[in-house]
């Protein structure tokens, strides 16, 4: 479990490791439409 903002963890990545910024860019591109399509959906309360 991570505590705190991810910036501190991403700063620890070594130069020769996979750049997390590329991962997050790719994830954002794939998920953007899905996330936008859920706008306004609310849980049903009983």
pTM as predicted:
0.42
DSSP codes of every residue in 6-36: THHHHTT--TTSPPHHHHHHHHHHHHHHHHH
Residue 23, in any domain of the structure:
yes
What does the alpha-carbon distance between residue 38 and residue 13 come to, in Å, rounded to a whole number?
33
CA separation, residue 34 to residues 10, 20, 24, 29, 46 (Å)? 25, 21, 15, 10, 27
State the total domains in the chain: 1
Residue 21, in any domain of the structure:
yes
Residue 2, in any domain of the structure:
no
How high is the pLDDT of residue 15?
67
Whether the CB-CB separation of 9 and 2 falls below 8 Å is answered with: yes
Which range of residues forms the domain containing residue 19? Answer: 7-37
pLDDT (tens digit per residue) in 33-42: 998 998 888 8
């Amino acid at each position: 479990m991570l505590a705190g903002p991810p910036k501190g963890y991403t700063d620890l990545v070594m130069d020769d490791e996979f750049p997390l910024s590329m991962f997050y860019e790719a994830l954002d591109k794939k998920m953007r439409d899905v996330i936008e399509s859920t706008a306004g959906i609310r849980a049903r309360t009983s």
